[in-house]
Homo-oligomer: A and B are copies of this chain.
């Protein structure tokens, strides 16, 4: 597997664009992703009981397992808590996009095909409780469709248009070889930090030109999110709009099926792309100054390992300690203790590491004397790893998080308007 320069359009047969439609004041706020041929789809959605209208729309489409033609995304408005009007607006975004792909986008598609509204996925992110300005949205979709391209620039524009408080765009493209042929997987995402003015969302879109059956893709996505998006924490709040969508259009001509030679390589690259985006989201967490990786080894079960790692990156006390570059092992042990996971504290070793070195602070559940100066140096780095070594078994897991800073309080304490 090699990482290549490129974005969401790096796999064959994908076109994208991103523009400033006017939903936000000045920034790009509308993105379109279109596949040259109907693509197999897999999706994962927020578990929040309060689901935004586009989530309800997409869920139905993904469940239908019908091949998809496009994804339309707006930022600046989440279309959440908008009732029946919101559902109608989400459907209207899909219908409008479908008609454009069937008509206006024809010059882009080599072999235009009729697109039904039920083949267009919709995502929204931004302020909640405010109806979408549908005139602006529809004009924006039209303008966006007329500029669809498979260029890197088009991918960049799309990756920028889905952002809200993100401070950098998140994109990745990789290439693998299966039976001598190149297969590409690419993705773009936006951050999960809940944001001013109301709340934000984690959105992640992955494209591949592999030929994968929808059921296989959904199965793979299901296991992949467990070790990626479900292992990151910015502030513990799950939004009304969180969505991960994957499209596989088969344009590489390479078929990938479980049990065949290529499946393992494909799965690995697929995991890499999702993990890269998940970590990028954490790196760009609101007010985050530090990237924290927590690895738990020697746990009884992988579920225990995941629960322990997640509990540590989610603790407000651990996060503020990292903000202060404080080797506060007590808070880490404490967060493991209340996680609900089964482990033996008396068998626990804890260490911190970064580019400046590595230091053991707890052994067999009790503190060991350590060089405070060195600890401070290690923890003052931008990327820090916490390593918890248990003696309960052989399972392991990794979680990623960020520190809790004054800046987080400032961003989120600000008034909405």
User: Using a CB–CB distance below 8 Å, which chain A residues touch chain B?
Assistant: 46-51, 80-83, 128-130, 194, 198-199, 235-240, 315-317, 320-321, 323-331, 333-339, 341-343, 345-346, 362, 364-367, 372, 376, 404-406, 408-410, 412-417
B324 and A50 contact, CB distance less than 8 A: no
Residue among A346, A376, A413 with the most chain B CB within 10 A? A413
Q: Which residue of B lies closest to A83 (CB)?
A: B366
Given A198-B328, A330-B128, also A323-B409 (CB < 8 A): yes
Given A331-B199, A331-B237, A372-B417, also A81-B366 (CB < 8 A): yes
Q: Which residue of B lies closest to A308 (CB)?
A: B49
Residues of B within 8 A of A335 (CB): 237
Q: Which residue of B lies closest to A47 (CB)?
A: B338
Residues of B within 8 A of A240 (CB): 333-334, 337
Interchain CA distance A338-B240 in the complex, whole Å:
9
Residues of B within 8 A of A328 (CB): 198, 416
Give the distance to chain B from A312, nearest Cβ to Cβ, in Å. Answer: 11
A330 and B365 contact, CB distance less than 8 A: no
- 8 A-B residue pairs with Cβ-Cβ distance under 8 Å, sorted by A, are A49-B338, A50-B333, A81-B330, A129-B366, A199-B331, A237-B315, A238-B334, A317-B412
**Which 8 residue pairs spanning A and B have beta carbons closest together?**
A50-B337, A324-B413, A320-B412, A129-B367, A48-B337, A238-B338, A49-B337, A198-B330
Interchain CA distance A350-B397 in the complex, whole Å:
39
Q: Which residue of B lies closest to A49 (CB)?
A: B337
With contacts A48-B338, A316-B412, A409-B409 known, what are 15 further pairs, Cβ within 8 A? Answer: A46-B338, A49-B337, A51-B337, A81-B333, A83-B365, A129-B362, A130-B367, A235-B317, A237-B315, A237-B334, A237-B335, A316-B408, A320-B412, A404-B409, A408-B409
Interchain CA distance A362-B198 in the complex, whole Å:
14
A50 and B82 contact, CB distance less than 8 A: no
Interchain CA distance A274-B342 in the complex, whole Å:
31
Residues of B within 8 A of A194 (CB): 317, 331, 334
User: CB < 8 Å: which of B130, B238, B316, B367 contacts A81?
Assistant: B367
Give the distance to chain B from A47, nearest Cβ to Cβ, in Å. Answer: 7
Interchain CA distance A316-B401 in the complex, whole Å:
15
A235 and B316 contact, CB distance less than 8 A: yes
Residues of B within 8 A of A199 (CB): 317, 330-331, 334
Give the distance to chain B from A257, nearest Cβ to Cβ, in Å. Answer: 36
B345 and A49 contact, CB distance less than 8 A: yes
Residues of B within 8 A of A372 (CB): 417
Interchain CA distance A328-B321 in the complex, whole Å:
28
Interchain CA distance A153-B287 in the complex, whole Å:
47
Residues of B within 8 A of A337 (CB): 48-51, 238, 240
Residues of B within 8 A of A316 (CB): 235-237, 316, 404, 408, 412
Residue among A130, A345, A409 with the most chain B CB within 10 A? A409
Give the distance to chain B from A333, nearest Cβ to Cβ, in Å. Answer: 5
B416 and A320 contact, CB distance less than 8 A: no
Give the distance to chain B from A393, nearest Cβ to Cβ, in Å. Answer: 15
Q: Which residue of B lies closest to A81 (CB)?
A: B366
Residues of B within 8 A of A129 (CB): 329-330, 362, 366-367
Interchain CA distance A339-B50 in the complex, whole Å:
10
Interchain CA distance A331-B409 in the complex, whole Å:
15
Interchain CA distance A367-B86 in the complex, whole Å:
13
B409 and A326 contact, CB distance less than 8 A: no
Residues of B within 8 A of A415 (CB): 324-326, 376
Give the distance to chain B from A269, nearest Cβ to Cβ, in Å. Answer: 31
Give the distance to chain B from A299, nearest Cβ to Cβ, in Å. Answer: 13
